[in-house]
Structure 1
C-alpha cells in the first residue's frame, strides 16, 4: 500500500509516493512553482491559484498512475496566504501569499493595517497573515463580489482534489490565518467581524487528518496540514525530545509542547495535529540572507572579470569551514545581523555588519559571519522557549536546503546549540509529513505523536 504527499512551496511544488508499511520512497516528482504574477507594487506578492492547482493535478496523476493500492493523499504548503473562491469553489482572486506586505502599509494615525487590526482584536498579527490581508482588502473595497469563502492554497488544492465546492481547513492552517482561538481550536468570529470577515466566509474547521472526499478515481483525500507541522512530522523521530531547526527561504525553530504556555513575542504557538502545540520562532530571512551574499559575490565577479561565475554556494561553504577552523578568538569576528528582510513584527528592521577589523575583513570571515548571524537568530528563539522545555531536548534535527547542503553550517549549529545534530533523511520533509498525515487520516497509524515508522529509524 502507498501514500501520496504534496507540498506546495513558494518556488517549487513536490509530490512523493511512499510505502505505507516500510516508509520507503517509491517515487518523487518536483516541478517549479511558476505561478508568480507580475505586480506594479513592490509590496505585493501574488500567485495564480489555478496554475498551482494544475501543477498539483499533474503531479498527483503521475504518481497515482504508477500504483493501484494508494490509501490516501495528503497536502501541505505555504501558509498564511489566502485565495477567495465562489460558491462553485472556483478561484476568483489571486493567491495573496505569505510574503505579501500590504499589511505594513499605513492605515492612519501612525498605524499599519497589521498593527491596527492587532489593536482592535487583541491578537498578535503580522503582515502576510490572511486576516491582515483580508482586512486591507475589505477596507479598500477590493474583495471580489463573487467571493463566498477564503482559504489557504493548501485548502484550495485539497478541495479541488476531493471534488468539493467549499473549502475546509484544519487548525494548523486556520491558526496561520490569524484571529484563531488556540484554546478552543476555532476562529474567533467576533474578532473576525472587526476585520470585515463574516463567519460565513470562513472555512469549516475539521480535525487534522480528516478525510474530506476522494479524487475522481476514488483515492481518499485528507484536509491540508500546515507546512511547519508537516515538516516536523516528516523529520523528527522523538516528538517530545527534539527541537527542529529549519533554514530554507526563511528560518524556524520548532518544538512540541503538550500544553499552551505563556509566550513572549518572539514565539508563537501553533496547533499540533492530534493535540498539543508546536512552539515556533520564525524568521523571514534565513536562507534568503545567504542567497543575498551569494548574489553579491557573483556580482563582484561579473563586474571585475566580465565572466559569469555560476553558483558560488559550494565554494562559500568551503571558505566558511576554513574560517571556522582557523578562528582566532583574540581577533574577534565579524558580527552580522542577517535580518535584512525584517522580522515578522518589525518589517522595517534592517541587517548590519559590525566589528570590522583588518584581520577579519575577508570574504571567508564575511561568509562565516553570515552563517553565525543566521544561527544567532535561531539562538534568540531558543532563549525564548520555556526553560523546562529546553531541558527536555536531547537532539536537534536539521531540515531545509540551507542546512542540508552546508556541512559547515551543520557543525556551527550543533556546537552553538550544544546538541547533537541529525539531518532529515528525506529531502522533501514537508511532502513526506503530508503523506504521513494522510496515513494517520486513513487509519494506517495510530496517532500523530507516534506516527513514525521507518523514517524514525537509523539508516
Structure 2
C-alpha cells in the first residue's frame, strides 16, 4: 500500500509518497504556492484559498492517475493562519496567514488584541495566530457576514476533498490558533465568548487522527500542523532526538510527555498522549541572508557584481575556528515575547572586527537562540536528548552551520530522514490512520 502526504506551505505545495514498509519517500514533487493577494498594508499577509485548492487538486489528480494503489491521503500546512467558511463549507474570506500582523495593530486606548489578551487574562497569543486575527476582525466589524466556522488552509483542503460542510480540526492545529488549553485539548471558550460579539465560529476538535471522508474512494486523514508533521517526517521513530530546523526562521522541537508553561516555549499536541515542545527564532536563516545582502551591496557598489557571496561566506567561516571574541545576538526581527527587541553585535575589538569573525558570529548566534530554548526545555521537562536531527535548507547547504550546531549542543548531528519533511510526516499520519481503519 502507498500513502500520499501533502504540505500546503506559505510559498510552495509539496507532495510525498511513501509505502507501508519504507520510511523514505518513493516520490516527491513541489509546486509553487503563488496565491498571495496584493495589499496596500505592510502588515497584511493574505492568500487566495481557491487558487491554493485548485493548484493542489490539479497535482493530486495527476499523482492518483500515476499511482493507482494509494490507500490514504494526509494533509499538513502552514499553522496559525485561518480562513472563514460558510454553512456549505466554502471559504468566504481570504486565508489570513501566520505572517499577518493585524493582531499587533492598535485598537484605540485598549492597545492591540495580543496586548489585551495578555494584560486582561495573562494569556500569550501572538500576532498571526488565528484567534488574534479573529478577535481583531470581530472588534473592528470586519467579519464576513456569512462566516460560520474558522479553520486552517489544510483543514479547508481536507473539507473540500472529502465533501464536508464543517471542518474537523486536529488539536495540534487548534492549539496553533491560540486561546487553547493544551492539557484539556479544548478552546478557552470563556475568553472567546467574553471578547467576541460574533456567534461561535470555533470548529470541532479531535485529539486523534480520524478520516474526514473520501476523495475518489480514498480516505482523507485529519490534517496536522506542519510543526508536528515535520517532526514525524524528519525524526520518525528515532528516540532521544532533538529536531533543529533552519529555514527563513529557526525552530527546535522535542517530543515530551510533559506539558510546559515556560516563556518562549510552546507545548503543542502531538499524539493523543504526547506533546511537542517547540521554540522558534523569528530571524533564523534570515540572519545569514541579511549578512549576505550586506556583503553583496558593498560588492555591487565596488563594481564586483558577479560573486557567489554565500560560497565566500562559508569559506570564511570554515577557515575560522571561533569568533575571536565577537558575539552576535541574531534576534534582528525580535522574539515572540518581545517583538520590539533587536539584535546586537558585541565584543568588538580592533583585532576581531573582520568578515570571517562576523560570519562565524552570525552562525553561532543563529544556533545559540535555539540552544537557549533547549536549555529551558531540558531543565523544566527533564529531557535527555542524545542526538540532533537537522532539517531545512540552512543546514543542508552549510556544512559549517551543521558543525556549529553539533558542537554547541554536544550531540552528534544526523540529517532528516527526507527533505520534504512535512509532506512525508503527513503521509506517515495517513498511514497510521489507515492501519486503524482498513
TM-score (norm: length of structure 1): 0.90
Shifted more, 20-29 versus 383-392: the winner is: 383-392
Residue number in structure 2 paired with 1:304: 302
Q: Distance in 2 between matches of 1:358 and 1:168?
A: 60
Aligned positions of 1:45-444 closer than 5 A: 45-109=45-109, 111-196=111-196, 200-215=200-215, 217-238=216-237, 240-261=239-260, 263-305=261-303, 307=305, 309=307, 312-323=309-320, 325=321, 327=322, 331-332=324-325, 334-387=326-379, 389=381, 391-443=383-435
Q: Distance in 2 between matches of 1:76 and 1:394?
A: 28
Question: Does the 8 Å contact 2:74/2:223 carry over to 1?
Answer: yes
Question: Does the 8 Å contact 1:251/1:282 carry over to 2?
Answer: yes
Shifted more, 88-97 versus 115-124: the winner is: 115-124
RMSD, aligned CA: 2.0
Go from structure 1 to structure 2 and tell me whether the alpha carbon gap of 1:284 and 1:130 turns closer, same or farther (over 3 Å shift). Answer: same
Q: CA deviation at 1:429?
A: 0.6
Question: Does the 8 Å contact 1:298/1:308 carry over to 2?
Answer: no
Question: Does the 8 Å contact 2:236/2:417 carry over to 1?
Answer: no
SS at match of 1:156: helix
1:207-231 C-alpha deviation (Å, 9 max, x unpaired): 332111111x111101110111111
TM-score (norm: length of structure 2): 0.95
Question: Does the 8 Å contact 1:120/1:194 carry over to 2?
Answer: no
Go from structure 1 to structure 2 and tell me whether the alpha carbon gap of 1:110 and 1:294 turns closer, same or farther (over 3 Å shift). Answer: farther
Q: CA deviation at 1:354?
A: 2.1
Shifted more, 312-321 versus 278-287: the winner is: 312-321
Q: Distance in 2 between matches of 1:104 and 1:161?
A: 34
1:362-418 C-alpha deviation (Å, 9 max, x unpaired): 222221111111111011101211437455211111111111221100100000001
Residue number in structure 2 paired with 1:25: 25
Question: Does the 8 Å contact 1:175/1:271 carry over to 2?
Answer: yes
Aligned length: 438
SS at match of 1:271: strand
Question: Does the 8 Å contact 1:240/1:392 carry over to 2?
Answer: no
Q: Distance in 2 between matches of 1:86 and 1:74?
A: 24
For structure 2, list consecutive stretches of 5 or more residues without a partner in the other structure: none
